[in-house]
Amino acid sequence: MTSDEAAKNRPLVFAHRGASAAFAEHTRAAYLQAIADGADGVECDIHLTRDQYPVLLHDANLDRTSDGTGPVADRTLAELRLLDFSSWKGVRIPEKYGARSEQLLTLPDLLNILRAAGRPIGLAIELKHPSPYQLKLEDRVLQVLRSQGWDAKTSTVENIQVTFMSFSPDSVKHLLRSVPSRFICQLVDDIDVDEIRDELGLGPLTGTAVANVMKAAQLEGERILDDCEVLLAGPGIIYVREHARTVQRWLESGRRFRVWTVDTERDVALCQGLGIQEITTNKPAQVLAQLLSTGQQVQLPS
């Protein structure tokens, strides 16, 4: 296979929270590096601040990825701007990628970064639930996008192709009122009730109740994909490995796949062999190099 053929046939590569293996996730540096790496698109997670700004953070709490603590939803944007969201990674940020105080991004901040890429680029927005603002999260994100020039019919903002994702079936159904189904991704993952209950550490009754809600959401998400209510299927790579028949059924029904988080050579080859159209990875440069080298064919175990 020639390099041109490999480029034409390869899956699209989305940088998971930016180039998050290189720099702290969701930071300005991570997204600028993803663009420099040649990623076809970037992925981000959205929470709302107390004053209703959509900010790029995965966790509902600040503890893991900042020097702050407590819920994101309890802080204003101005308060969040005072926190350090990059030092925990232990990587020096090049001057060209901004100061430490500039690493927290709002959704408009990220759109400005992507506008400056100078080429077509994808943006996959994950709406994080449970949210204290419930489905107002989706409404606020759409409101901000419209203020930035988002066109609903094409789901574009200038050079940026926007898609929406959630594990929450309620979020997906709500988005379908405003967004064409081809731009919405139902995320799915395996939920083991016993395992989740133990991980939550909430006690047997509360833990089981929460885990059962999560399992119900998984089953409803799978139904949405079975019934072709949205175009994009977003399973994790472990789900892809362990649910061969389901994956094949969705592929045959015309679902477009966006698989996360694909970081190893083996998993990249598996996705390429299956005909997966989009790969989300923490290592966009490494994955692109592998995809452009040779066409590897791997099949799921039966």
Q: Which residues are catalytic?
A: 16, 58
Gap between the terminal Cα atoms of the chain: 28
Contact 12, 257 (CB under 8 A): no
Cα gap 175→142, rounded to integer Å: 9
Contact 127, 138 (CB under 8 A): yes
Helix (H) or strand (E) holding 259: strand 256-259
Coil, strand or helix at 237: helix
Residue 301: CB atoms within 10 A of its CB come to 8
Contact 66, 84 (CB under 8 A): yes
Contact 40, 117 (CB under 8 A): no
Q: Compute the radius of gyration of the chain from its Cα atoms.
A: 19
